[in-house]
């Protein structure tokens, strides 16, 4: 799952170094801008057959890959 999420983020942001540095802060480093953020939500929903309500997700969820993986897993388990 983590690798698939990394693939999605790289596809949306073209930040190829994410594989080498998965703990980078995607927001602070301006890797995930507002358009990529919306596209990421859509891609995650489609790929993992989940529904994400951004207003119900803590903002720090989007800071790094591990937090995003945890959120996706929690949504799958619902």
pLDDT for the residue numbered 45? 97
Q: Which residues have C-beta within 8 Å of that of residue 25, sequence separation ≥ 6?
A: 63, 64
pLDDT for the residue numbered 9? 97
Query: Which tens digits make up the pLDDT trace of 6-51?
Result: 999 999 999 999 999 999 999 999 999 989 999 999 999 999 999 9
Task: Compute the distance between CA of residue 33 and CA of residue 65 in angstroms, rounded to an integer.
Answer: 15
Only one residue has tokens 């990394």, namely 6
pTM of the entire structure?
A: 0.91
Dihedral of CA atoms 66, 78, 36, 4 in degrees, nearest 10, equals: 60
Query: Which tens digits make up the pLDDT trace of 47-63?
Result: 999 999 888 889 899 99
């Amino acid at each position: 799952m983590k690798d698939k999420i990394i693939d999605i983020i790289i596809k949306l942001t073209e930040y190829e170094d994410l594989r080498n540095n998965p703990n980078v802060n995607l927001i602070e480093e301006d890797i995930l801008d507002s358009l990529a953020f919306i596209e990421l939500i859509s891609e995650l929903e489609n790929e993992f057959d989940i529904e994400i309500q951004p207003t119900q997700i803590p903002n720090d969820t989007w800071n790094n890959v591990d937090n995003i993986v945890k959120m996706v897993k929690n949504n799958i388990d619902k």
